Amino acid sequence: MCGIVGVTGRDDALDVILTGLQRLEYRGYDSAGVVMDESSDRLRVVKRGGKLANLTAALSDESISGSVGIGHTRWATHGAPTDSNAHPHTDPTGRIAVVHNGIIENYEELQATLPDATFSSETDTEVVAHLVAREVEGGAELPDAVRTVLRSLDGAFALCIQDRDTPGMIVVAKREAPLIVAHADGVSYCASDVAALIRHTRDVQALMDDQVAVLTPDGITITDLNGVAVEGHAYHVDWDLDAAEKQGYEHFMLKEIHEQPTAIADTLRDRLRPATGPDGSPRLHLDECRIDEGEFGRIDKVFIVACGTSLYSAMVGKLAIEHWAGIPVEVEVASEFRYRDPILDPHTLVIAVSQSGETSDTMAAATHALDQRAPVLALVNVVGSTLAREADAVFYTHAGPEVAVASTKAFTTQLAAFLLIGLYLGQQRGRIYGSEITDILNRLHHLPGQVEQVLEQDAAIAELARKYASTHYTMFIGRHVGLPIAMEGALKLKEISYLHAEAFPAGEMKHGPIALIEDGSLVVALAPAGHTFAKMVSNIQEVRARGASVLAIGTDGSTADLKAHAHDLITLPEASHELASPILAAIPLQLFAYHVAVTRGEDIDQPRNLAKTVTVE
Ligand code: M6R
């Protein structure tokens, strides 16, 4: 979603800001702008609707310099993505400039406290510039002015503020939206995402809610809303810049699809600790655990909360936990969780799943659980993210940076992680022997090689994608482990190709959805080997009889029936465990969606209307 980059103390500040904004493009945005403190008598603001290229073109017409500035990419929430709604916003005198990620929920109420003000945008942000200006004009120092205004704001924000009359200083603050700060070699930086800063430093501090940081070239001071000195969360970023580059691939999505063998191997690596259990076998462990691990043995119910693709991995997680740990599991869309009355107590484990660890709905669901004293386990990819910091325990997927909006390697590593979490909870509850865990893990270590085998079918899948690229309606069907993958396959196709795609449990088709099938429809049937295979073959025959073309995903050794009834077939290697088969089945659907979108000429890495990290509700 929106992106922020600020810098003070470099003569090439504008370049640093623009390069940083490019790094954040993957988050999704629809306008961009910068403010530079050129001299003591004015702040220069340049902003444009549309892509960053529009802003850089506008900047090339003006000669702007300065050692202090802030840049922003906006994903429109209040007001269309026009020049005037783009950030930064200023007060009418142009003294204060503000950029903002998030939503100020009470902005209309705040505007009403300024009856004489004229607003030049439709945003919820501009009022903050007016309010801070009122404070500094009244004699407050900029940091005090910001703290005063923050107390009146409701909602979520990462704010970055510059004052023409306080040269060299940027004041930043956050609540429920990520913001990091860093100081290196006489320069202070802030950004909404570490990707924007990694070129300059790897040691950063994440601000906590309601912290205010004052950045100058001399350093950074952090306080709470009362001005009392506090600390952010300091951490070191260990992935390198190369990992965030395309490395010769045409798109980040394709690169990330091909990174899955390594990513999955990294998820599975080093999960066993030497024997501490009674049977002398090695034991699985979490990456971080801030509560007594024994509590996991007393868990009697699990909720898994997540959004989008992460939600589909949660559906596989449910199967794994119920299978190995024997605990009832409910999977819930994170955006719904806090609006009902989930029954939570200290024996209810809430697993919050998120690639970014910053998704606002998932964070809110986790916070709701923590408030009810339910332990929260975060399954996240981004190390040091808000969710990782606030949960009681963390299991990292270690997939490396995922840049494309369409999630791929984050998903399959979540699936691998859920196998381990299922085994871990089974171990904590004494339901599974250490030797059994070791045996399953040994078999899972074949997964990366099997994923490689599936990736080798890329050219054949591209051919199928070209064949079906004009299909108006695609239905994905599956059962058991195939169902979440059907849902993920439909999401991948619709989000990057904009084609109408839906997924259903295959058994539900006859209760309504089969009415949609007609000549020219495509049905993608997830039919891997397993106990629901025969039922899937029947469903394939049913849709084919009604005019659909059928693309089946099957398993090596059980394809005779699929060859007989489907028009096209993609064959997967036999998984070492039925619960691991979704990892293999997901890959051809990612490739299929990718190649359909390429064939249709769509914007693969930044599809329309979507953001990589959804930091507003
Ligand atoms: O970062 P998260 O895993 O919390 O993100 C959740 C969803 O927004 C995300 O998976 C989204 O559905 C992707 N665009 C799917 O490709």
Per-residue pLDDT tens digits for 586-611:
999 999 999 999 999 999 998 998 88
* pTM, rounded to two decimals: 0.79
Shortest-distance Cα residue to atom 12 of ligand 1: 308
Ligand 1 — pocket residues by CB below 6 A? 307-310, 354-356, 359, 362, 405-407, 495, 610, 613-614
Phi, psi (degrees; rounded to nearest 5) at 236 = -110, 135
Distance of CA 130 to the CA centre of its chain: 33
Q: Is the pLDDT of residue 285 over 60?
A: yes
Predicted confidence (pLDDT) per residue in 18-50, tens digit: 999 998 887 778 899 999 987 667 899 999 999
Q: How confident is the model at residue 278 (pLDDT cuts 50, 70, 90)?
A: low
Residue 557 CA, ligand 1 centroid: distance in Å:
34
Q: Collapsing DSSP states into helix, strand and coil, what is residue 554?
A: strand
Q: Is the pLDDT of residue 560 over 70?
A: yes
Residue 359 CA, ligand 1 centroid: distance in Å:
8
Q: What per-residue confidence (pLDDT) applies to 454?
A: 97
Predicted confidence (pLDDT) per residue in 289-308, tens digit: 999 998 999 999 999 999 99
251, 253, 307, 418: which to mutate for ligand 1, most atoms within 8 A of CB? 307
Phi, psi (degrees; rounded to nearest 5) at 500 = -75, 115
Residue 607 CA, ligand 1 centroid: distance in Å:
13
Q: What is the mean pLDDT of the chain?
A: 93
Q: Go through 279-301 and write b for each residue having 16 or more CB atoms within 10 A of its CB, e for each that does not.
A: eebbbbbbbbbeeeeebbeebeb
2 is catalytic: yes
Q: Collapsing DSSP states into helix, strand and coil, what is residue 89?
A: strand
Interatomic CA distance for residues 507 and 486, integer angstroms? 13
Interatomic CA distance for residues 588 and 444, integer angstroms? 19
Predicted confidence (pLDDT) per residue in 368-390, tens digit: 999 999 999 999 998 888 999 99
Shortest-distance Cα residue to atom 14 of ligand 1: 406
252, 335, 359: which to mutate for ligand 1, most atoms within 8 A of CB? 359
Q: Is the pLDDT of residue 247 over 80?
A: no
Q: What per-residue confidence (pLDDT) applies to 241?
A: 66
Q: Is the pLDDT higher at 60 or at 71?
A: 71
Residue 338, token pair as written in the block: 């806090």
409 is catalytic: no
Interatomic CA distance for residues 392 and 389, integer angstroms? 8
Residue 335 CA, ligand 1 centroid: distance in Å:
13
- Point out the ligand 1 atom lying closest to the alpha carbon of residue 362: 4
Query: Cβ(180)–Cβ(215) under 8 Å?
Result: no
337, 351, 381, 407: which to mutate for ligand 1, most atoms within 8 A of CB? 407
Q: Is the pLDDT of residue 243 over 90?
A: no
Percent of the chain with pLDDT over 90: 80
Residue 329, token pair as written in the block: 């599991």
Task: Compute CA distances 609 → 324, 497, 515, 604, whole Å.
Answer: 40, 13, 30, 12
Q: How confident is the model at residue 552 (pLDDT cuts 50, 70, 90)?
A: very high
Residue 406 CA, ligand 1 centroid: distance in Å:
8
Burial of 339 (0-12, 13-18, 19+ CB in 10 A): exposed
Q: What per-residue confidence (pLDDT) applies to 42?
A: 83
Q: Is the pLDDT of residue 242 over 90?
A: no
